């Protein structure tokens, strides 16, 4: 079998799907190769910005602005073949409008909340962030004690009197967006499969590489296949493809590999799923030191909220679920939220890069033009923006 | 929080709700691996709770284990074998998720707690050995007067002939058909609709118990390939007597799995390697044979009430049956024609009169048999009988073990039953042997029925049990509590879940009754505090409110409210290639119970739709609440 396409896309998650959609709109012929057995195994795509890299005021302001629900909608909707809905707190409990699509990806507007112990360096960082947010005109609201704690997702007021809640301070920040990653991916995949045909969206491919006439790979059953590529092979850099892409760069463009090593820093996060016995406030995402905490679900939250809680924890070592993880989770659950016990339903490691350099890397392999598009991981909206920019430049 | 780190080569971990730990397969796997010099650890059982497995990016995994002192152990393992339980429900049908349909584990728990409500009819879904034995137990203890085992494949009873025989002699019935609906008729009666080739039938039953098996035994699977991360759906057969084929399947699978792990992790000596190769070859051969065994079940055939000529010939040709009956001598007849080979009778015989060869054929050394009766009690399926006399006179005597209560009395009139429970003639008990090690009774049998009659039915007290005190002795005193505002009298100290079933107030959420909060479904509010019904006990004056109440439903995944047609529609629209994708896109199995109720069902439906089910491991943490501080 021999395929012939203008663009061959190699990637694991949303990025190749978005790129394919955009290229098809331009009238190009496209095929997608995914080394994973499915497009849903890529877990470096985040529903929201974890806002963990605040350095300068400009950066903070840019990220706040970029993550506003309306901006998120503007970034995600071009290229998405269907409706994207926005959920706001004031709509909770209201019946969905007949024009709303229940199964569409929803962007929820959730307030960001930062919490820290009332003394120590964390408090200083919190105050500094508060002042910066104030200066930038984001109207943060300073909170202390029970008034602050009760807004925290998963907080239990049952034994609040016996806990030292005065030892915590925090502030409420702006309403930022988060999106249903799976629904977004599903919508794109359904559309791309229909447009390209199943024979041009291939999973479980392996032994990929350029040859003199184009590109070759082996399919699910191990059958060797050649692709004649008229214009370029586009590789979308995600952590799952990292090893293969590094090998390619080392072979064809070692200089850019050195540049990549300098410009991208890998982050490892633990994603914990907890179950609360009481419904949880679905419209707040809380930052408690290295933890991000929010109530998790898809679509519009039910009137009494979801009971599942996501906790993202930055792990600075490579040692997952170690003593410090449990100490952090235990502190959150027992000391702050005031639960008697907790149920861990899942723990998944998630890794992604913080990219300083997002320009595609171009090189020639056996006479075929290859482009590696970095920054295809992290918040979904960021991926969509990067991919769109890269495809516009191709 | 106390925290400990460790390293190991092979971690064998117990999934939630295992009935037995360690299983025979675990023992064999562990022995082979440690003989090859690997460091092996079992994690599970009393006091040790596996909290989860975190697969590493470059192979291996971290196993999180909590010990009895609430210390957390973080064990880095190069290979992990997770043993999963067999909890099964049939494919969803309208009303399946309701307190009318309970899994076997819940039924056993209710039985052990002395719960009522087994009269008058109990329907067991499935016809495997476990289903037949549960049915026999209910009948033997007079808990239920009628038990029906329902098999969905026509004329394909899956259990052993010996267990089927015991069940039918005790009065159990086998029905064929698919359950298609379940409705509550009264607090203690459920109407089960069954579809068979003749149409739809309705059985009104006190309980419907889901035992299975509903699918082929899946064995183990490694995913991703080469990762040495294995999930093994174990049969959990406790001993050879319970299910010899499954125990052997486990053993041979353990050898094959051990050789994979040893090849990946150890460098054994050449001698060990060659021994392992030999054992591996032999195990693979045995596995082939065992996997096709269910297609070769033995069944008696009948001409009217009587054994057919072919069955008679098969019986008399069987080496476990005495060939020369002698006047005045008692001989055992081991009528285990199917090649089962559990060896319970062989081990129990003090005179070494019973031998079972490598092909699992039973041999009786007639001259050595002393007629002691040990084999009668040892056989888990109660197959052997003893025959006294030479069958030349009008009457011969058959001797059976006493298993039923109340005890029979000398002179009691009984009906003689054939192997499938049909009445052949009337007779009487002529002797009881209560002083010996094995309580036995002797019954007079017309000589022409000596090879036909294999059970009795007392003519007195036949039919439904008149008085519940015959089978039920109330434990504990009754106290008054409030449930949803109503005052109820229930037994003090009883588990709340059991009490709810007993007074007909159980909810669909209560059907798993896991006892450790692992499903998280049965939440209630006790005196204003949220607790799990399966963990809290009844005390005087308590006030129970239901805080979470899933309605009875026909949904595939009740926690997430996903119905079968919607599930199938989404599969055909999205065409997910892996189960991981399926769970993300459709959300099935992501609810509170974490797939304990629905996992098998949606995996089965997904497989039918072409999704690769072998490319999936569920390493999530579904194991209860953590109170670690």
CATH topology of domain B101-210: FAD/NAD(P)-binding domain (3.50.50)
Taking the CA of residue A228 and the nearest CA in chain B, the distance in Å comes to 26
Q: Which of A40, A278, A323 has its CB closest to that of B585? A: A40
Class of the CATH domain delimited by A2-44+182-264+356-393: alpha beta
Mean pLDDT of A104-111: 94
Residue B325: both structure tokens together: 């009956």
Calculate what percentage of chain A has a pLDDT beyond 70.
97
Parallel, antiparallel or unpaired: strands A85-87 and A30-34: unpaired
**Contact residues, chain A, for B51 at CB < 8 Å:** 344
What local confidence, expressed as pLDDT, does residue B145 receive?
A: 85
Instruction: Name which of B578, B579, B583 to mutate to probe chain A: the one with the most chain A Cβ atoms within 10 A of its Cβ.
Output: B578
**Contact residues, chain B, for A322 at CB < 8 Å:** 3, 74
CATH topology of domain A56-179+267-353: D-Amino Acid Oxidase; Chain A, domain 2 (3.30.9)
Q: How far apart are CA A218 and CA B191, in angstroms?
A: 55
Dump pLDDT digits (tens) for B274-319. Answer: 999 999 999 998 888 877 766 667 889 999 889 999 999 999 999 9
Interface touch A330/B628, C-beta < 8 Å: yes
Could you tell me which residue, B617 or B406, shows the higher pLDDT? Answer: B617
Tell me if domain B315-395+425-458 and domain B478-546 are identical in fold. no
- B3-85+220-268 falls under which CATH superfamily? FAD/NAD(P)-binding domain (3.50.50.60)
Interface touch A346/B72, C-beta < 8 Å: no
For chain B, the domains span: 3-85+220-268, 101-210, 315-395+425-458, 478-546
What local confidence, expressed as pLDDT, does residue B463 receive?
A: 47
**Contact residues, chain A, for B624 at CB < 8 Å:** 343
**Contact residues, chain B, for A269 at CB < 8 Å:** none
Among A328-337, A362-371, A373-382, B585-594, the minimum mean pLDDT is found in B585-594
What local confidence, expressed as pLDDT, does residue A34 receive?
A: 95
Q: Which of B74, B594, B625 has its CB closest to that of A341? A: B625
Mean pLDDT of A276-284: 85
What local confidence, expressed as pLDDT, does residue A156 receive?
A: 84
**Contact residues, chain A, for B581 at CB < 8 Å:** 38-41
What local confidence, expressed as pLDDT, does residue B437 receive?
A: 67
What's chain A's average pLDDT? 88
- Model confidence at A259: pLDDT above 80: no
What local confidence, expressed as pLDDT, does residue A315 receive?
A: 86
Interface touch B64/A321, C-beta < 8 Å: yes
Nearest-CA residue of chain A relative to B5? A322
Interface touch B520/A38, C-beta < 8 Å: no
Burial (Cβ within 10 Å: 0-12, 13-18, ≥19) of residue B33: buried
**Contact residues, chain A, for B584 at CB < 8 Å:** 40, 182
Interface touch B629/A346, C-beta < 8 Å: no
Greatest Cα-to-Cα distance within chain B, rounded to the nearest angstrom? 79
What's chain B's average pLDDT? 86
Interface touch A323/B520, C-beta < 8 Å: no
Is the complex ipTM more than 0.90?
no
Taking the CA of residue A358 and the nearest CA in chain B, the distance in Å comes to 26
Distance set, CA B122 to CA B204, B324, B499 (Å): 9, 42, 19
Among A207-216, A368-377, B3-12, B318-327, the minimum mean pLDDT is found in A207-216
Residue A177: both structure tokens together: 């967006």
Q: Which residues pair with B108 in a beta bridge?
A: none
Using 50, 70 and 90 to split pLDDT, how confident is the model at A68?
very high
Class of the CATH domain delimited by B315-395+425-458: alpha beta
Residue B162: both structure tokens together: 């010996």
Q: Which of B72, B517, B620 has its CB closest to that of A345? A: B620
Using 50, 70 and 90 to split pLDDT, how confident is the model at B124?
very high
Q: How far apart are CA B67 and CA A315, in angstroms?
A: 25
Nearest-CA residue of chain A relative to B592? A275
What local confidence, expressed as pLDDT, does residue A181 receive?
A: 95
Decide if B341 contacts B126 (C-beta within 8 A). Answer: no
Interface touch A307/B62, C-beta < 8 Å: no
What local confidence, expressed as pLDDT, does residue B624 receive?
A: 60
Show which residues on chain A lie within 8 Å of chain B, measured between beta carbons.
Answer: 37-41, 182, 186, 189-190, 193, 198, 203-204, 273, 275, 277-278, 298, 307, 320-323, 326-327, 330, 334, 340-347, 349
**Contact residues, chain A, for B549 at CB < 8 Å:** none
Q: What's phi and psi for B524, nearest 5 deg?
A: -135, 170
Measuring CA to CA, which residue among B441, B439, B438 is closest to residue B428?
A: B441
DSSP letters, A331-359, are IIIIIII--S-BEEEEEEEEEEEEES--S
CATH topology of domain B478-546: Ubiquitin-like (UB roll) (3.10.20)
For chain A, the domains span: 2-44+182-264+356-393, 56-179+267-353
Calculate what percentage of chain B has a pLDDT beyond 70.
92
Q: How far apart are CA B476 and CA B470, in angstroms?
A: 17
Residue A362: both structure tokens together: 């171009």
Taking the CA of residue B555 and the nearest CA in chain A, the distance in Å comes to 19
Decide if B30 contacts B38 (C-beta within 8 A). Answer: no
Interface touch A323/B3, C-beta < 8 Å: yes
């Amino acid at each position: 079998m021999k395929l012939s396409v203008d663009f061959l896309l190699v990637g694991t998650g949303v990025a190749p799907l978005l790129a394919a959609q955009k290229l098809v709109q331009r009238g190009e012929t496209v095929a997608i190769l995914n080394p994973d057995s499915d497009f849903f195994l890529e877990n470096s795509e985040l529903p929201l910005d974890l806002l963990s890299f605040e350095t300068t005021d400009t950066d903070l302001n840019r990220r706040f602005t970029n993550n506003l629900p309306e901006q998120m909608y503007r970034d995600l909707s071009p290229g998405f073949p269907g409706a994207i809905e926005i959920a706001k707190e004031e709509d909770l409990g209201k019946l969905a409008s007949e024009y709303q699509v229940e199964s569409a990806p929803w962007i929820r507007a959730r307030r960001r909340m930062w919490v820290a112990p009332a003394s120590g360096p964390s408090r200083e960082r919190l105050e500094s962030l508060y002042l910066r947010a104030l200066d930038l005109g984001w109207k943060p609201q300073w909170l202390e004690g029970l008034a602050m704690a009760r807004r925290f997702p998963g907080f239990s007021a049952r034994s609040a009197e016996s806990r030292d809640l005065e030892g915590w301070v925090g502030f409420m920040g702006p309403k930022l967006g988060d999106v249903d990653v799976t629904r977004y991916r599903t919508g794109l995949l359904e559309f791309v499969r229909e447009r390209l045909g199943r024979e041009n969206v291939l999973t479980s491919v392996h032994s990929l590489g350029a040859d003199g006439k184009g590109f070759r790979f082996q399919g699910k059953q191990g059958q060797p296949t050649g692709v004649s590529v008229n214009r370029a092979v586009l590789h979308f850099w995600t952590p799952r493809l990292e090893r293969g892409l590094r090998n390619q760069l080392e072979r064809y463009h070692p200089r850019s590999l050195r540049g990549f090593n300098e410009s991208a820093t890998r982050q490892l996060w633990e994603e914990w799923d907890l179950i609360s016995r009481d419904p949880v406030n679905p419209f707040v995402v809380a930052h408690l030191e290295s933890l991000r905490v929010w109530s998790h679900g898809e679509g519009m939250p039910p009137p009494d909220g979801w009971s599942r809680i996501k906790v993202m924890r930055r792990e600075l070592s490579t040692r997952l679920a170690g003593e410090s993880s449990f100490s952090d989770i235990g502190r959150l659950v027992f000391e702050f939220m005031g639960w008697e016990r907790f149920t861990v339903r899942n723990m998944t490691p998630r890794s992604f890069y913080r990219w300083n350099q997002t320009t595609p890397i171009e090189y020639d392999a056996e006479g075929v033009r290859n482009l590696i598009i970095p920054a295809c991981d992290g918040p979904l909206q960021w991926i969509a923006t990067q991919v769109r920019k890269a495809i516009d430049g191709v | 929080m106390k925290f400990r780190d460790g390293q190991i080569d092979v971690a064998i971990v117990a999934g939630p709700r295992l009935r037995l730990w360690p299983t025979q397969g675990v023992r064999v796997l562990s022995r082979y691996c440690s003989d090859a010099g690997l460091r092996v650890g079992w994690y599970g059982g009393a006091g040790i709770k596996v909290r989860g497995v975190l697969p590493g990016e470059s192979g291996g995994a971290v196993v999180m284990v909590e010990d009895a002192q609430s210390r957390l152990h973080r064990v880095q393992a190069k290979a992990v074998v997770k043993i999963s339980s067999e909890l099964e429900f049939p494919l969803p049908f309208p009303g399946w998720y309701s307190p009318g349909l309970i899994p076997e584990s819940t039924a056993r728990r209710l039985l052990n707690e002395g719960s009522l409500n087994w009269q008058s009819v109990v329907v067991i879904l499935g016809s495997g050995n476990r289903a037949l034995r549960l049915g026999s137990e209910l009948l033997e203890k007079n808990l239920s007067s009628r038990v029906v085992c329902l098999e969905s494949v026509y004329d394909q009873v899956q259990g052993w002939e010996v267990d089927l025989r015991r069940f039918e002699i005790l009065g159990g019935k086998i029905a064929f058909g698919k359950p298609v609906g379940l409705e509550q008729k009264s607090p203690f009666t459920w109407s089960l609709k069954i579809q068979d080739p003749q149409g739809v039938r309705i059985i009104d039953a006190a309980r419907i118990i889901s035992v299975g098996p509903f699918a082929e035994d899946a064995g183990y699977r490694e995913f991703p390939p080469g990762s040495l991360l294995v999930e093994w759906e174990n049969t959990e057969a406790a001993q050879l007597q319970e299910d010899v084929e499954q125990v052997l399947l486990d053993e041979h699978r353990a050898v094959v799995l051990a050789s994979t792990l040893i090849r990946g992790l150890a460098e054994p000596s050449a001698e060990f390697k060659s021994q392992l190769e030999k054992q591996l070859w032999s195990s693979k051969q045995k596995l082939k044979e065992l996997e096709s065994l269910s297609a070769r079940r033995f069944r008696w055939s009948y001409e009217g009430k009587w054994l057919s000529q072919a069955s008679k010939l098969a019986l008399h040709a069987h080496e476990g049956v005495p060939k020369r009956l002698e006047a005045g001598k008692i001989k055992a007849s081991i009528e285990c024609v199917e090649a089962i080979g559990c060896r319970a009778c062989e081990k129990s015989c003090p005179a070494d009169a019973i031998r079972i060869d490598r092909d699992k054929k039973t041999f009786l050394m007639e001259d050595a048999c002393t007629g002691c009766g040990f084999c009668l009690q040892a056989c888990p399926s109660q197959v052997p009988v003893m025959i006294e006399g030479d069958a030349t006179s009008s009457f011969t005597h058959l001797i059976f073990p006493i298993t039923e209560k109340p005890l029979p009395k000398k002179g009691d009139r009984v009906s003689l039953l054939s192997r499938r429970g049909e009445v052949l003639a009337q007779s009487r008990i002529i002797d009881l042997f209560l002083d010996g090690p094995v309580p036995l009774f002797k019954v007079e049998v017309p000589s022409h029925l000596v090879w036909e009659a294999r059970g009795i039915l007392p003519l007195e007290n036949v039919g439904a049990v008149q008085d519940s005190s015959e089978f039920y002795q109330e434990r504990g005193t009754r106290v008054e509590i409030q449930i949803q505002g109503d005052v109820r009298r229930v037994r003090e100290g009883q588990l709340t879940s059991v009490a709810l079933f007993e007074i007909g107030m159980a909810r669909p959420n209560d059907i798993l009754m896991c006892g450790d909060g692992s499903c998280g479904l049965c939440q209630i509010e006790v005196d204003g505090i949220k607790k799990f019904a399966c963990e809290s006990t009844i005390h005087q004056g308590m006030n129970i409110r239901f805080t979470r109440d899933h309605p009875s439903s026909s949904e595939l995944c009740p926690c997430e409210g996903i119905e079968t047609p919607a599930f199938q529609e989404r599969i055909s629209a999205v065409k997910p290639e892996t189960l991981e994708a399926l769970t993300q896109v459709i959300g099935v199995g992501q609810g509170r119970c974490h797939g304990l109720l629905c996992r098998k069902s949606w995996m089965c439906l997904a497989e039918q739709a072409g999704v690769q089910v072998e490319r999936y491991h569920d390493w999530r943490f579904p194991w209860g609440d953590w109170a670690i501080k």
